[in-house]
Structures are given as structure tokens and as C-alpha cells.
Amino acid sequence: MIEKTVGQIVRDMAHSYGDVEAYVYPEHQIRKTYREFDQETDDLAKAFIGLGIRKGEHVAIWSDNKREWLLSQYATGKMGAVLVTVNTNYQQAELTYLLEQSDATTLILGEEFKGTSYIEIINAICPELSASEKGNLQNSKLPHLKRVIVMSDNDYPGIFTWSEFAAYAEQVSDQTLEEQFASLHIDDVINIQYTSGTTGFPKGVMLTHSNIVNNAQLIGDYMKLTEKDRVCIPVPFFHCFGCVLGTLAAVTHGATMVLLEQFDPLKVLRAVQDEKCTALHGVPTMFIAELNHPEYHTFDTSSLRTGIMAGSPCPIEVMKKVIHDMGADEITICYGQTESSPVITQTRPDDAIEKRVATVGKPHPGVEVKIIDPLTGQEVASGEPGELCTRGYLIMKGYYNNDEATEAAIDQEGWLHTGDIAVMDEDGYIAITGRIKDMIIRGGENIYPREIEEFLYQHPAIQDVQVVGVPDAKYGEELMAWIILKEGSALTEEELRSYCRGKISHHKIPKYIEFTDAYPMTASGKIQKYVLRERSLEKTGMKTS
């Protein structure tokens, strides 16, 4: 295990690969070496200290993948403030909840995101802001919140501009920073990442330097990353995919980060081509959007070697296209969750192709995994489905200010219960078949949506498919498939059912089929199945209220 803080990793890379590009923003023509990156984050760490922010204080950050977000991640990693990541899609009620629940003393924010004014939202939450002295906000609902910083030099009442914030570095000596840097411990919490909150309120996952540095190191090792790699990262920083599998996995190996502020398939393809990226990250829906873009074939992706597909179950057919069409023949699949820092298992480039496309690989070194019967708690036999549990260095310190939820997630023996249904084969490879709450029970038969989705993906007209369960008076539940067709393709419900007959069991053929143009998505690119279930109830007339 690596016994280093996030900040020590940056300094190590500056020493070893000082002239290698640390990050590139193609859309802004910004390029910085590791030596420059180290200096930038030292300066910003001093600005945090100069502003009065202390080790252990909670600093919330709310924007898309701006350069200021990246620098803040590693500057706080050097001076010990805890970075609290905020979902870019949050609105007023959600932001209020997060700031209150996290006890954040500081909020760093962008001006807007996709037409939503973040400035208007924070002023609605804190009407006192406009009349406040900068850095001295008084709000009874959020008693801890004192400072708001905007990622621009536009002046807003009560809010520090980025330049005003950065200037506080001048008040802090190098020695003061070094003393604070040296005081950090690998088991200190350095990130609080909020879960999506699809059931109940979001929970703040407390992750330490040790959690995320070691996880990132192993992720990059599995990808065979070196200082010669260039990793395209279009996934959001606020999610662990962006800031651990993305930036930190690159930084731990001295690789270059090629960054996009927001996902756009055309910008991704252009960045891969122009920057000669060797790795590309994305959730399955991102890869699907890239592969199906009308201009896809005009771009050269031959520089690609690896990357990560993760965030939700990865369709086998999509994996095959990324390997064979895009040329990322060493791409890996990662599986995990925020509570496990986040990666539990990962495929290796030298795994057999069947294992690489049909499983999520084996557990990382130092990670224990067991598959249990969720009712009895007993381990199940090889090949039998059950709940995946994991234990090791990667487990979060707990949910912030939520002991009850922590105790529900981590048992007395230290096992994190993921809530995911998994099957482990005789070779130790794991396949994820869905969430326990997503399993469909039709007439006493357990049906896993993933199995049906994988089968339907093979139809030549289908671009994407999601299967959910809906109530049924006779069988308890029936299947409903939501299908996105490829551009220019046509398919009827009856044609699809005919395709299924004789190929899969009758009870696995969806009773309901709905064609759609898009799925409800989270800001991190995950499909919101619970929203699809709600829509399914409406479509089938099963919604009671």
C-alpha cells in the first residue's frame, strides 16, 4: 500500500516528470507541465490557508470540469481541507441540504451550468450574501457557511472573485504551507462525495488520502499507465469516476490529463484525435453516443490503447465495438461504488476477451469480496447469484453525520454491503446482474434485467435498451423494455417479440415495449432506472397516484 497523501503524489510527479504535460484543456488552449501544476497547486493551497480555511474544514465545490475544480482538488490535498463534491445538476433545495448536512464553511462555484444560474441559486439560499462583507456571511439556516468564491473574475456582491481568492496566497509563507503539508496523515478524510440519493437523501461518503490514492494507483496499474499516456477525461469531476478513476489515476502515474468541461461526443472525438489520446474514459451511454455520432467515422481514434468503461453495467456489444472499432483493445471495465473509493474489481488487458466483455474482472489486490444470500447472510456457491460484499483498505470511513446509515452499510466485521447482485465464476471473475431492488420476480421466477438487456442489444436496429419491472395482477411483475433505435432504423413491437421467440425463455420476453429517444440521466451519465419505473407505471396504467 502507498502511504502518501494526495499532495505528496503531485510533488513526486513534479520531481520525476516535471516536463511532462500534467493537463491540457483543448477548448481553452491551456497546457501545463507537472512542474507548473505542482507550483499552481502550492500557490492555491496557500490561498486557502490565507483565506482562513483550516485543515479538516469542509470546502464544497460546485461546477463542471473547470480548471479551478482540478486545481482545488489537489490544493486541498496539500493543505488538508476536505473537498465536498457537489452534483452539477443540483437545484436550490438539494444544494441547501448538502451545505447544511456537510457543515461546509466555504462554497466554490461556477457561474452557471446548462442554463441554470448558480449565482441566483446561492443568493436565493443566502439572501444576506449581497449585503455581506466577503468572507463573513451570516445565515441562520447555514451557520457554518462563511465564504463563497466564484470561478471567474466577474464581481458579485459578497462573493470573492477567483483573483481575489488567489491573491490570499501572498499572505502565506512557504514555511507555513510546508508545516501544514507535513501535518497531514494518510488516514485523514480528504474528500466527501455525496451519493446520488435515488432512495432517501444523499449521503456524504468520507474518503481518506489512503482510500483514494491507493485505489487510483491500482486502477492506473491495471491500465498500464505511464508518463507517456494521455488520458481523455470527459466524465464529471464531482463523481468518483472523474476525480479518482480520472484525474488521480492519471496523476499517480505521471500521465497527461486531457480535460473537457462537459461531455460532448464530438468534442471527445476531436480531443482523442488532436491530442493523440491513448486512453478514454466514459460511462456506457457516452461511448454509445460517440460510436453512433454521424461524424464518428471522420475521426482518427487509432491512438487509443486503453481507457475505462464504468459507472453502470457495460453492454457486451458496446465493449466489443470500443475494442474493435475505436481501437481501444486494452480498455478495462471497473466496478465499484463511492463507498469503496470507488473501484472493487477491474478487468485486465490480458484477460481473455470473453472475461473482459462479460464480467467486471476480479477484485483488486488487498480487496476481499464475497457473494452472500441477502436473506441468510451465508456465502453462496460459485455460479450462484447473491449480494456482493467487500472489505479492505478501500472502505470509506463512513457517512458524514449519519451513523445509522453507516451501520446499515458496513457490518460489524467490516464488510460493505453493496446492494448489487453478482455472480462469481470458478475462476474468480465477477459479473454484476443488477441491483437487488432492480430484480424482477415474475411468477416466482427471478429475472435479472441485465440478462434481457444484453440479449436485446444484439438486435441490429437497437442502439440502447433498459428493462424494468412493472406490477402485474397475474404474475406479480412483468417486464417492460425501453428501447432507443439506431438512427435510420425501424422496428415494431411485434418484430422484436418475434426476434425473441425461440431464443430466450417465454417468461423473459418483455410484455411491454416502449420506443424512446433518450433516458432520464444523472449528471454523471447514469441512467435513472427508478424514473423509468415511474414512467413505466404511467404508460401501463399501473400508477395509483
CATH value at residue 189? 3.40.50.12780
Is the preceding peptide bond at 342 cis, omega within 30 degrees of 0?
yes
* pLDDT tens-digit series, residues 19-78: 999 999 999 999 999 999 999 999 999 999 999 999 999 999 999 999 999 999 999 999
The edge-to-edge listing of strands for the beta sheet with 386-392 is 367-372, 386-392, 416-424, 430-435
334 within domain boundaries: no
Please give the residue that has the higher pLDDT: either 514 or 442.
514
359 within domain boundaries: no
* pLDDT score at 526: 83
State yes or no: pLDDT of 197 exceeds 60: no
Q: Which three cell numbers stand for residue 48?
A: 486557502
Q: Where does the pLDDT of residue 543 fall: very low under 50, low under 70, confident under 90, or very high at 90 and above?
A: low
290 within domain boundaries: no
Which of these three, 166, 194, 222, is where a domain ends? 194
In angstroms, the CA 222 to CA 349 distance is 7
Cβ atoms 88, 236 nearer than 8 A: yes
54 within domain boundaries: yes
Q: String of b and e for 463-493 (b: at least 16 CB within 10 Å)?
A: bbbbbbbbebeebebbbbbbbbbeeeeebee
Cβ atoms 280, 273 nearer than 8 A: no
* pLDDT score at 259: 98
71 within domain boundaries: yes
Q: Where does the pLDDT of residue 472 fall: very low under 50, low under 70, confident under 90, or very high at 90 and above?
A: confident
Which of these three, 142, 173, 194, is where a domain ends? 194
In angstroms, the CA 353 to CA 198 distance is 34
Number of Cβ atoms within 10 Å of the Cβ of 381: 8
Give the residue-averaged pLDDT of 198-205: 78
Q: What CATH number did the domain enclosing 477 receive?
A: 3.30.300.30
Cβ atoms 312, 284 nearer than 8 A: yes
* pLDDT tens-digit series, residues 362-409: 999 999 999 999 889 999 999 999 999 999 999 999 999 999 999 999
* pLDDT tens-digit series, residues 444-464: 777 888 889 999 999 999 999
Q: Where does the pLDDT of residue 196 fall: very low under 50, low under 70, confident under 90, or very high at 90 and above?
A: low
* pLDDT score at 200: 64
316 within domain boundaries: no
User: E strands, 366-475, where?
Assistant: 367-372, 386-392, 398-399, 416-424, 430-435, 440-442, 445-447, 462-472
Give the range of the structural domain holding residue 184, as residue numbers without chain letter. 6-14+31-194
Cβ atoms 351, 330 nearer than 8 A: no
The phi, psi pair for 372, rounded to 5°, reads -120, 155
Name the strand (E) or helix (H) holding 58: strand 58-62
Q: Where does the pLDDT of residue 545 fall: very low under 50, low under 70, confident under 90, or very high at 90 and above?
A: very low
- Say which range, 123-127, 307-311, 439-443, has the weakest mean pLDDT: 439-443
* pLDDT score at 20: 98
411 within domain boundaries: no
* pLDDT score at 433: 85
Report helix, strand or coil for 304: coil
* pLDDT score at 531: 92
Q: What Rg value do the Cα atoms of the chain yield, rounded?
A: 24
153 within domain boundaries: yes
Q: Which three cell numbers stand for residue 155?
A: 464581481
The edge-to-edge listing of strands for the beta sheet with 462-472 is 462-472, 476-485, 512-515
Give the residue-averaged pLDDT of 155-161: 98
For residue 536, which amino acid is it? S
Domain count, the chain: 2
Which of these three, 194, 217, 245, is where a domain ends? 194
Report DSSP letters for 467-515, one per residue: EEEEEETTTEEEEEEEEEEPTT----HHHHHHHHBTTB-GGGS-SEEEE
Kindly state the percentage of the chain with pLDDT values over 70: 99
Whether the full predicted model's pTM is greater than 0.85, yes or no, is yes
* pLDDT tens-digit series, residues 284-320: 989 999 999 999 999 999 999 999 999 777 888 899 9
Across the chain, what does the average pLDDT equal?
Answer: 95
